[in-house]
Amino acid sequence: MPLGSSNLILKIRSMKLSWTLYLAPLLVAFVKVASLDDPPAVCTDSESGSVVLGSEGRVFVCIGNAWGTICNDDMFEEVDASVVCKQLGLSRFGPTIKPHYLLSTYNGPSDVLMDSVECSGSEQRLIDCDNRNSTNIPCDHGEDVAVSCLQRRCVEHDIRLANGSAFEGRVEMCLEEVWTTICLESWNILNSRVLCRQLGYRSEGANTPANIPGPISMPIYSKQFHCSGHERRLFDCEKSGPSPPLCNHNHDLTIQCNSTRLCIEGEVRLAGANSSSGRVEVCVNEEWGTVCGDGWGNTEARFVCRQLGFSRFGEFIAYRHTQAHV
């Protein structure tokens, strides 16, 4: 539907900006991986409590504006390593602790700043575990903690569709890094709308076709969802238990969404013969619409160009009294 009667036409100088050239150094500086050099001695207040993996997986933690290592005093166990991996955005499952006698000599500027680490596994940061941190830890770098982490199996509360297409299939949800099916019992249209929206599809016409049973070995999430229809993610909906009696893989939830993709709120596009000029359309309430051109000029055009990732030196062309096709 049109958002204004006089639609905008823009012409853009086709010079895409290379954003990755600016972002990459920031990402590398903030999160180090095992193949990079060890961190410098100093860290900032904003990094306090952060952990990084240096060469060979040696763990460094930021304490008091200094990067330091952790003493492997025979108390550091897999549960402690799992917190390190989780804090780094990696899988908390299957971490390994490298024996200290296999570590090469460390000649960097950092001191040993932590030992006696005892985590329960529920902590989000290593610094939140019981520990002793001091500049006088009786330990040398030959006893530093080094860990190896696995990539996450899946992202918590993500949704995917299996044995179907991009918009239809058996619903699987990530819980504790494990993919689970969802029990169909007590499912309703409001739940379907939220689920389809989370997958990036329109909610109109969503339905639950014939069941596609999941593998016997796959766990089933059996709590009942009670969505209002306005939530952005399925797991944001209210939930209740206990498990309905019919929750088995013959009752796994299968969904069919509207195949039309949603647009992202505030997203802008150009409708025309090519990608660098055309009528301006904006996404509002999951609908594409046109923009009223009254009062528009090159200044406004340049904002659109910049949002689209082109050079900001675009040009406003003209008004045209046409309707957007959405």
- Taking only the tens place, the pLDDT of each residue in 246-259 is 789 999 999 999 98
On whether the CB atoms of residues 206 and 198 are closer than 8 A, the answer is: no
pLDDT of the residue at 273: 57
Nearest CA-CA partner of 17 in 311, 270, 307, 269: 311
- Mean pLDDT along residues 287-300: 81
Look at the chain and count its residues.
Answer: 326
pLDDT of the residue at 314: 56
Is the previous residue joined to 242 through a cis bond, with omega within 30 degrees of 0?
A: yes
pTM of the entire predicted model = 0.58
Task: Name which residue leads in pLDDT, 306 or 79.
Answer: 79
Q: Does pLDDT of 325 surpass 60?
A: no
Cβ of 228: how many Cβ atoms within 10 Å?
12
- The rounded distance, in Å, linking the Cα atoms of 278 and 146 is 55
pLDDT of the residue at 80: 94
pLDDT of the residue at 299: 79
- Mean pLDDT along residues 17-39: 30
Q: Does pLDDT of 311 surpass 70?
A: no
Confidence bin at 83 (pLDDT 50/70/90): very high
Lowest-pLDDT choice from 18-27, 157-166, 188-197, 310-319? 18-27
Across the chain, what does the average pLDDT equal?
Answer: 79
Lowest-pLDDT choice from 87-96, 142-151, 211-220, 259-268? 259-268
Confidence bin at 285 (pLDDT 50/70/90): confident
pLDDT of the residue at 315: 58
Lowest-pLDDT choice from 7-21, 40-54, 223-237, 284-298? 7-21
Phi-psi region of 233 (alpha: psi -120 to 50; beta: other; left: phi over 0): beta
Q: pLDDT per residue over 166-188, tens digit each?
A: 999 999 999 988 999 999 988 99
- Mean pLDDT along residues 58-72: 89
Q: Does pLDDT of 120 surpass 50?
A: yes
Which domains are assigned to the chain? Answer: 7-17+264-320 (3.10.250.10), 31-148 (3.10.250.10), 168-256 (3.10.250.10)
- The rounded distance, in Å, linking the Cα atoms of 200 and 205 is 14
Long-range contacts of 23-32 (CB under 8 A, 24+ apart): 31/88, 31/89
- Mean pLDDT along residues 46-52: 86
- Mean pLDDT along residues 211-226: 91
